[in-house]
Amino acid sequence: MAKSKKQKTPPRFWRSKYATILLSVFIFLSLDGFLIYWIALHPPAFRRQELDFGVFGLNAYKRRDYADAADNFQKATQQKPTSEAVWYNLGNSYFKLGKYWEAALAYQRAVSLEPSDSDAKFNLALTQKRALESLQSGETVTGDIFPLHKTPSNPKAK
């Protein structure tokens, strides 16, 4: 017959309801601290994400609020200066506002970023034609047709 080992029982305190409560509080505080630590290291995506002015511009363009669309696309060009679509949409907004010189500059930038875009080339030619017609009819050029943006090559621009 094999000897049976007598199992040790835990001390009396660990069998009480106070130990259960104490252990529950300890586990809760440990998990709470871990969650706070996790959130601090991994903030939600909406906190890190910048506003996408291109989307705001498209929504304003769909509402036919071309001034707001142009303003948002102008901000989007500062966020994404190499996006051909943003420059193209900025040109469309300026064209709808009758600012043909600004539109021509935006289309020119779009064509320089994507030379194979036939829509941008067509719009550039049409806009240049309208701009010249407006000069010949005696209209004055309004607005800032040479906007300056901060770029690595031009840090002193506004």
Residues sharing a CB contact under 8 Å with residue 151, sequence separation 6 or more, in sequence order:
81, 157
Residue with tokens 């031009």: 154
Query: For the residues 78-92, what does the mean pLDDT come to?
Result: 90
pLDDT at 98 over 70: yes
- Using a 10 angstrom Cβ sphere, with 0-12 exposed, 13-18 middle and 19 or more buried, the burial of residue 26 is exposed
Architecture of the structural domain at 53-136:
Alpha Horseshoe (1.25)
pLDDT tier for residue 157 given thresholds of 50, 70 and 90: very low
What's the rounded Cα separation, in Å, for the pair 82 and 155? 17
Please indicate whether residue 3 or residue 21 has the higher confidence score (pLDDT). Answer: 21
Contacts of 91 (CB under 8 A, 6+ apart): 103, 104, 105, 106, 107, 110, 120, 123, 124, 127
Tell me, what's the pLDDT at 53?
Answer: 85
Residues in the chain: 158
pTM, rounded to two decimals: 0.59
Q: Please list, in sequence order, all residues whose beta carbon lies within 8 angstroms of the beta carbon of residue 141, skipping any fewer than 6 positions away.
A: 101, 135
Segment 7-13 mean pLDDT: 63
